[in-house]
Amino acid sequence: MLEKKADIGAAKNTVFERIAKNDPRINKELLVLVKSPEVPENALAMRRDLDETLKQDIKAALLTMDKETDGQTVLKTFGAQRFIETTDKDYAPVIEYAREIGLNLSTYDYLND
């Protein structure tokens, strides 16, 4: 990592923390200039028109899968410990930032081709 190919960079906090844990030079040689507010790392969403019962069943399965062996195995496969329920409040820093820069989240093209 520290190959002096750049003077500045950015990293997702979980990536930075994982790399720093494995390489003590990271915290010794890099200066963190600024951190963004914490927001949920990843999110899952369902279509609005999906059957409400099915939505609730999926939600319940995801929020409790860490309590069962098979669920723990699945979570471990993609590096997660559990799912947590989030609300719009958890994303307030992102929404505020988008507002500040004039980004309309309802029309933004998330595909980023």
Ranges of each domain in the chain: 1-35, 39-113
pTM above 0.75, yes or no: no
**pLDDT, position 113:** 66
**CA 29, 94, 79 angle in degrees (round to 5)?**
60
H or E stretch covering 54: helix 52-64
Q: Spell out the per-residue pLDDT of the chain, length 113, in tens.
A: 688 889 998 888 888 988 999 999 999 999 999 988 888 877 888 999 999 999 999 999 999 999 999 999 999 998 889 999 998 899 899 899 999 999 998 898 877 66
**pLDDT, position 67:** 97
Q: What share of the chain is helix, strand, coil (3-state, %, to 5)?
A: 50, 0, 50
